[in-house]
Homo-oligomer: A and B are copies of this chain.
Amino acid sequence: MTNVSTADDAGESQAVVQLAPGCTREDVTEGERYVARVNGVVDYGIFVDLSENVSGLVHESTLSRQYEVGDELVVELAEIRQNGDLSFEPADIEPENVVERAPSYDRTATAVLRQNVGQTVHLEGEVVQVKQTGGPTIFRVRDETAIVPCTAFEGAGVRAHAAVEVGDVVHVRGVVETREDSVQVEVDDIERLNDDRERSVRNRLEAAVAERAEPPELDPLVDWPALEQMLPELRRVARRLRRTVLESRPIRIRHHADGDGMCAAVPVQLALERLIEKTHAEPSAKRHQLKRLPSKAPYYEMEDATRDLNYSLGDRDRHGQKLPLLLMLDNGSTEEDRPAYRTLDHYDIPIIVLDHHHPDPEAVEPFVEEHVNPYLHGEDYRITAGMLSVELARMIDPTLTDELRHVPAVAGLSDRSKADAMDDYLALAKEAGHSRDSLEEIGEALDYEAYMLRYDAGRTLIYDVLGIDDVDEARHRDLVTFLDDRAGDAVDAQLDDAMSHVDHERIANGAHLYRLDLDAHAHRFTYPAPGKTTGEIHDRKVTETREPVISIGYGPDFAVLRSDGVRLDIPQMVSDLNDELPGAGVSGGGHLVVGSIRFVPGMREAVLDALVEKMADAEIDEALSSTLDR
């Protein structure tokens, strides 16, 4: 044993260090012992590797035996020379008492990379996207300050660092570069962190996200205890949505395509767009990360859920995006939504529901993360989805407050809410320059445009109609007046043709019953649609008679029902009809005085006859109004 000099102070208890592959010269110290591997044998000694970045010479003079490439031995770092070369000596002990050492480095925050262009830096963060290009693989890495693209090249179109996936916490070593003036890191190495180090990075990220996700403390637009008790829930939803944006998960908003539904969804869309703009460097992010999708049906249909899922999986395959969060607005609380939720439940797609329709919490809640609904607080539909959503939008982007002041009033008028707070909301809208008439016009214009756009959400056009997003006020007013006129004319034309074909009878309980065959006496495939046509007829008859009125508008396989002054309890009627008329396939529902049902066309007469019989027996209750229970 030639290795006398170091044996003295080392003793048998001195640990042998096994460097991790990513370790650099910063991780070694003179006098320490390391596990090394021979990677070259020359006349004057052997070259050994301690890690991918640390290697040096063991001089022939210190060696007591022959080595071949690949042999493992324990060495001691004798000297770090002035030129940087490392000189080792064999420790001539077995690699016992081995301690592993991870690379030490000074972490750089992604937000300040621009100050380090051209330098090698170390980042720690979570991989939020992995995108394979025809050239390098792009890892988007998020730390507690920002998100930065890191490009790694293995071969053209070849996935680099195949073990690293979305969701992993990693250490990236690379050189900072600017590309079209935006900053990126050219990767030298990416390694997944584990255990303690992963946990510490996650904690740091989590703390930062938690802080940035926290909604601001705001007073609601109006002083209203009924709504106030729901604010904590709305804050939870706002926090979750903010966090979803910060974590780069896309959001899909599904909403009822009527006036209140648009007043609910459009402000949240705008608020999320603004937050996404602040979070993501790419201006196109607000289109990729957010979709607003109107639903014609009063519930989340299987076809829609299947298409949403298919689309989201495609985005994941194509762009390496996370699967989205689904936000249901003015929709989603009922038993009929359950099959769609169950479909999505097979995948990582969180669901949040904000609705004001009569809920079925047992059916829905096993599948949703948050379920906000006034009925769960002893309130009802009078707190409309739009009223709730405007508060939610403000919690996402409080600078929207001024722009949204008139929106709850539009929502309330659209859904004919008789909430106590309506006066306050109307007053607030008046301060913002909107009379009650102009708010009603906005509601009609929204409804008309929703019809004209069919399945398209119509971003800017709808912003212009609703009067938000730095709106041109003159255009907004002109456009609303024009669209409201068009809608009004279309309703008048429809009713001019339909009214003379409305059948009237007086049923046993004394109520007026009006019936219209919509397929025969309403224009098809034009505005207004059957539900609105029936509602408009009903409203006119209520005004005309000032007595209890029931209206039925029916097509080949459906009927729309409205009552003022008669307690119908439509869900009960559906259930009874199903028992009495096997083979009629009656489905649908609604509330006490508003609803719609479906049946097989061949049983239409039987269903309508049985329905009218029930209506004739129904209890008169003049306090009930269909305009209070949509």
Contact with A307, one of B136, B313, B314, B456 (Cβ below 8 angstroms): B456
Complex contact B317–A496 (CB within 8 A): no
29 residue pairs bridging A and B, Cβ less than 8 Å apart: A132-B283, A133-B282, A134-B284, A135-B181, A136-B180, A136-B181, A151-B180, A284-B318, A302-B486, A303-B452, A306-B452, A306-B461, A310-B456, A310-B461, A316-B460, A317-B459, A339-B486, A342-B482, A346-B464, A347-B475, A496-B582, A497-B583, A497-B585, A519-B602, A521-B583, A521-B602, A523-B585, A523-B598, A523-B600
Q: Which of A541-597 contact B (CB under 8 A)?
A: 557, 582-585
Total count of chain A residues near the partner, CB < 8 A: 76
A191 an interface residue at 8 Å Cβ cutoff?
A: no
Minimum distance in angstroms from A302 CB to a CB of chain B: 6
Chain B neighbourhood of A478, CB < 8 A: 346
| Nearest opposing residue in chain B for A601, CB measure | B520
- Assuming the A-B contacts A452-B303, A482-B346, A583-B521, are A459 and B313 also in contact, with contact meaning beta carbons closer than 8 angstroms in the complex? yes
Tell me the smallest distance from the CB of A2 to a CB of chain B, in Å.
45
Is residue A499 within 8 Å, beta carbon to beta carbon, of the partner chain? yes
8 additional A-B pairs beyond A156-B182, A157-B281, A523-B598, beta carbons within 8 Å, are A134-B284, A153-B181, A313-B460, A339-B486, A497-B582, A497-B584, A497-B600, A520-B603
B180–A310 CB distance below 8 A: no
Copies of this chain in its oligomeric complex = 3
Complex alpha-carbon distance, A557 and B497, angstroms: 13
CB neighbours (8 Å) of A303 from chain B are 452, 454
Q: Which residues of A contact B (CB under 8 A)?
A: 132-136, 151, 153, 156-157, 179-183, 280-284, 287, 302-303, 306-307, 309-310, 313-314, 316-318, 339, 342-343, 346-347, 449, 452-454, 456, 458-461, 464, 475, 478-479, 482-483, 486, 493, 496-501, 517, 519-524, 557, 582-585, 598, 600-603
Q: Which residue of B lies closest to A451 (CB)?
A: B303
| Bound form: Cα–Cα A524–B601 in Å | 9
Contacts of A318 in B (CB 8 A): 284, 287
Which B residues are in CB contact (< 8 Å) with A524?
557, 601
* Chain B residue at smallest Cβ distance from A159: B283
Residue of B nearest to A516 (CB): B602
In the bound complex, do residue A156 and residue B183 qualify as a contact, i.e. CB atoms below 8 Å apart? Answer: yes
